[in-house]
Amino acid sequence: MRRLFVLNAQPPYAAPQQQPGNGVAIGGMVTGIVGLVFGWFPVLGFILGAVAVVLSGVGIHNANTKNASGRGMAVAGLVCGILALLFGLFWILVIGAAASSAGVH
């Protein structure tokens, strides 16, 4: 006597696809944080803040259009970059005002 076995096999489980990374957003966040740390040095903080704002803007754009991850990191980099820009600009103005009042040209 022959037995037939019928298996009710389910289709194999597919792992969920990961979102593509957003290295520009990470770079913007790191540059913004470093710009805040080095904001005490007027020109360096200003330059790093400007780079952070640009990288974070591109990172936000990538997160919106390419369905990439890292939008939160890009926003954090943008905020840190703007603060570093303002902090660096403040120190540039303070040093410039002190130099002009002291008569140094």
Which pLDDT value is given to residue 36?
Answer: 92
> Is residue 76 included in any domain, yes or no?
yes
Which pLDDT value is given to residue 6?
Answer: 59
> Is residue 30 included in any domain, yes or no?
yes
Which pLDDT value is given to residue 104?
Answer: 59
Count of structural domains, the chain: 1
* Below-70 pLDDT ranges, the chain: 1-11, 104-105
> Is residue 14 included in any domain, yes or no?
no
DSSP label of 7: -
Which pLDDT value is given to residue 102?
Answer: 81
Which pLDDT value is given to residue 18?
Answer: 73
Domain extent for 32: 23-101
Assigned token pair, 82: 């703007």
The Cα–Cα gap between 95 and 10 comes to 72
Rounded to the nearest 10°, the torsion over CA 2, 3, 6, 7 is: -120
Alpha helices for the chain (secondary structure H):
23-37, 42-65, 71-101
